[in-house]
């Protein structure tokens, strides 16, 4: 199952909004096929492994990170009939499929067909792999990663909040790769004004990256790059409080999305509503590039699922430089990136937290960092 999880992670960035799924077919003590769901709309992990194994699948055991699917009227044929037809003797599933169309029925059908079924092997780890899919199916919101860079003395910008490059070029490339695997990138209006970012990804991707600004009082001026580059095909979403939505538009391609205010802080947006709107637009995984205020807001609302913190060796040594909040979540993985240190934290109180395991993104970053350091040599 551990191997199946590893394989599943190779689907990251390609399978969403579907879950990452891995499969290992074992006959006796021998692995006869390994596979993973590679692409949204493409074949599931199980039929790929069955095809690879051919007749050898008869009597074999299938280790799958997710309960095999059994529902019809979707992009690919269901996996349960395929496993039955192939004569598999035993299916070991990591966890149940939270999709209400499956949710236990897949395993029940296998059992009825006389296949030995075991469930819940490395269950927490398999569910963690599914965290973005569970966020979407159960909570109707995307998975949320907060990413920021800070200096060795904990500063997120220079004196008086002046813009300052903190992370190194290799870290920045890893962040662009992460952006390319996400569906939306979110900043606060302060960052949109002071840093004037484009919020695009320079990495190759087949995904569309939705650019989002949280701007409760509509302060984003039309001179910013985000506004100037917004088009109907590549829009920028500006979330604001309902009473500010009526102010005339700021440019073509900029969509104003009104949401309720936070009941505890009337001048703030209700973040869960923001995320629900993004989920409705198909976002499975949202990357937030926050300042200190937004970090606190997402953490207080318990809507930050994961943090990526990049720490540079430099120091600012100036009281007027804004400091990052102290993170008290346990780190699950760490990576040296050409002198910067990237740490991944998972929110232990998050509604889609199941196990303190490294994510597929971190695994990819680890592999990419190796290549990038080598190609720089």
Asked if 37 is part of the footprint of Zn ion (rule: CB under 5 A), the reply reads no
Which residue in 46, 67, 289, 344 is the catalytic one? 46
Kindly tell me which of 74 and 370 has the beta carbon lying closer to ligand AOF: 74
Residue 237 backbone dihedrals phi, psi, to 5 degrees: -95, 125
Q: Which of 44, 136, 155, 268 binds Zn ion (CB under 5 A)?
A: 44
Query: Minimum Å distance from CB 85 to Zn ion?
Result: 14
Asked if 86 is part of the footprint of ligand AOF (rule: CB under 6 A), the reply reads no
Dist. CA 16–CA 360, nearest whole Å? 13
* String of contacts with Zn ion for each residue 64-83, x by CB under 5 A: -----x---------x----
Structure tokens at 124: 């927490």
Query: Minimum Å distance from CB 172 to Zn ion?
Result: 37
> How many residues comprise the chain?
377
Catalytic residue check, 367: no
∠ Cα 135 144 363 (to 5°): 95
Asked if 46 is part of the footprint of ligand AOF (rule: CB under 6 A), the reply reads yes
Quick check: helix, strand or coil at residue 185?
strand
Q: Which of 75, 163, 202, 370 binds ligand AOF (CB under 6 A)?
A: 75
Structure tokens at 72: 């019809």
Asked if 37 is part of the footprint of ligand AOF (rule: CB under 6 A), the reply reads yes
Could you identify the residue written with the tokens 């009939």? 81
DSSP code for 203 = S
Query: Minimum Å distance from CB 126 to ligand AOF?
Result: 12
Q: Which of 50, 66, 91, 332 binds ligand AOF (CB under 6 A)?
A: 66
Query: Minimum Å distance from CB 44 to ligand AOF?
Result: 3
Asked if 12 is part of the footprint of ligand AOF (rule: CB under 6 A), the reply reads no
Cα 122 to chain centroid, rounded: 21
Cis before 271? omega within 30: no
DSSP letters spanning 47-85: HHHHHHHGGGGTT-EEEEEEPPP---SSSS--HHHHHHH
Dist. CA 167–CA 113, nearest whole Å? 56
Distances (CA, A) of 40 to 15, 48, 154, 280, 345: 4, 14, 40, 18, 27
* String of contacts with ligand AOF for each residue 99-128, x by CB under 6 A: x--x--------------------------
Kindly tell me which of 50 and 226 has the beta carbon lying closer to ligand AOF: 50
Query: Minimum Å distance from CB 217 to Zn ion?
Result: 47
Restricted to residues 171-230, the positions that interact with Zn ion (CB under 5 A) are none
Query: Minimum Å distance from CB 48 to ligand AOF?
Result: 8
Cα 348 to chain centroid, rounded: 16
37 binds, among ligand AOF, Zn ion, none (CB under 5 to 8 A by kind): ligand AOF
Please report, as ranges, the residues that interact with ligand AOF according to CB under 6 A.
18-19, 21, 37, 44-46, 66, 68-69, 74-76, 79, 97, 99, 102
Active site residues: 46
């Amino acid at each position: 199952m551990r191997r199946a999880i590893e394989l599943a992670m190779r689907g990251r960035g390609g399978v969403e909004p579907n879950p990452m799924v891995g499969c290992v077919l074992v006959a006796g003590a021998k692995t006869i096929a390994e596979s993973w769901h590679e692409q949204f709309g493409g074949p599931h992990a199980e039929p790929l492994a069955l095809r690879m194994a051919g007749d050898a699948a008869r009597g074999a055991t299938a280790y799958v990170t997710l309960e095999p699917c059994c529902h019809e009227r979707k992009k690919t044929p269901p996996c349960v009939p395929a496993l039955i037809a192939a004569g598999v003797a035993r299916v070991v599933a990591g966890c149940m499929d939270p999709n209400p169309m499956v949710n236990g029925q897949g395993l029940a059908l296998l059992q009825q067909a006389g296949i030995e079924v075991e469930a819940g092997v490395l269950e927490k780890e398999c569910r963690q792999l599914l965290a973005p899919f569970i966020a979407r199916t159960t909570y109707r919101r995307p998975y949320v990663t907060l990413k920021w860079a800070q200096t060795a003395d904990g500063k997120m910008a220079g004196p008086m909040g002046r813009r300052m490059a903190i992370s190194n070029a290799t870290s920045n490339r890893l962040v662009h790769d992460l952006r390319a695997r996400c569906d939306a990138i979110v900043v606060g209006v302060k960052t949109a004004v002071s840093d004037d970012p484009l919020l695009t990804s320079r990495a190759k991707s087949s995904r569309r990256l939705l650019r989002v600004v949280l701007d409760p009082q509509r302060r984003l001026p039309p001179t910013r790059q985000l506004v100037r580059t917004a088009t109907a095909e590549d829009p920028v979403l500006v979330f604001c409080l309902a009473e500010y939505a009526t102010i005339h538009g700021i440019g073509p391609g900029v969509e104003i999305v009104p949401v309720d205010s936070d009941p505890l802080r009337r001048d703030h947006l209700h973040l869960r509503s923001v995320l629900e709107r993004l989920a409705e637009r198909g976002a499975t995984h949202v990357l937030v590039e926050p300042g200190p205020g937004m970090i606190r807001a997402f953490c207080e609302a318990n809507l930050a699922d994961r943090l990526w913190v990049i720490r540079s060796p430099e120091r600012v040594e100036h009281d007027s430089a804004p400091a990052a909040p102290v993170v008290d979540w346990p780190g699950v993985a760490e990576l040296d990136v050409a002198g910067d240190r990237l740490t991944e934290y998972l929110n232990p109180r998050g509604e889609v937290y199941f196990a303190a395991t490294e994510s597929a993104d971190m695994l990819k970053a680890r592999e990419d960092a190796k290549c990038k350091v080598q190609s720089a040599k």
